[in-house]
Amino acid sequence: MEKVYAFTKKYDTVTRVLTLPVKISLAGSTGCYETQGIIDTGAICSVVSINLVEKLEGIPFSYQFISTASSHNTLTPLYKASIVLCDKLEITNLTVSDGTLPVGEECLIGMDILSLGDLAVSNFKGKTCISFRIPSLQNIIFTE
């Protein structure tokens, strides 16, 4: 039977920016960086900030044209990365792009990671709670 990795994060209020603690390392780099990653269901792939790539001295393995909310068909470097979510789940050999993120933000957790499992968000009694697990175990359906 496949091992299940799961975690839950609870907030004290309703939040519109969902974050998880992450540790990021880039292939060819000896460093590891700890930060908060923003869950972004609109991002096809995960993104690390240009600032973080410079800190970790990342070396791209390829380039690809990528479109974002702020740019269209921009030739963007790609990196191989290892990302650890919540000190529980390590995703290795992940292809990430670099990008210009809001000040203070270093990582977007995109659908390349989220599509590996199940993500649930609730705001019961005015408190946001997110749960994520890999692998996907069942559909989460509210209408049946």
| Tens of pLDDT, residues 33-91 | 999 999 999 999 999 999 999 999 999 999 988 766 666 777 889 999 999 999 888 99
Q: Give which of 65, 49, 52 is closest to 99, Cα–Cα.
A: 49
- Give the position of tokens 């540790």: 23
**Contacts of 5 by beta carbon, 8 Å cutoff, 6+ apart:** 88, 89, 117, 133, 134
Q: Is the pLDDT of residue 135 over 90?
A: yes
HSE value, Cβ hemisphere, 13 Å, CA-based, for 26: 24
CATH superfamily of 17-116: Acid Proteases (2.40.70.10)
Of the listed ranges 51-60, 101-110, 132-141, the one predicted with least confidence: 101-110
* Domain range list for the chain: 17-116
pLDDT at 103: 79
The pTM of the full predicted model, rounded to 2 decimals, is 0.90
What pLDDT score does 76 carry?
Answer: 87
pLDDT (average), residues 96-112: 90
Task: Note the pLDDT tens digit of each residue in 4-42.
Answer: 999 999 999 999 999 999 999 999 888 899 999 999 999
Please check the confidence at residue 100 and state whether its pLDDT lies above 90. no
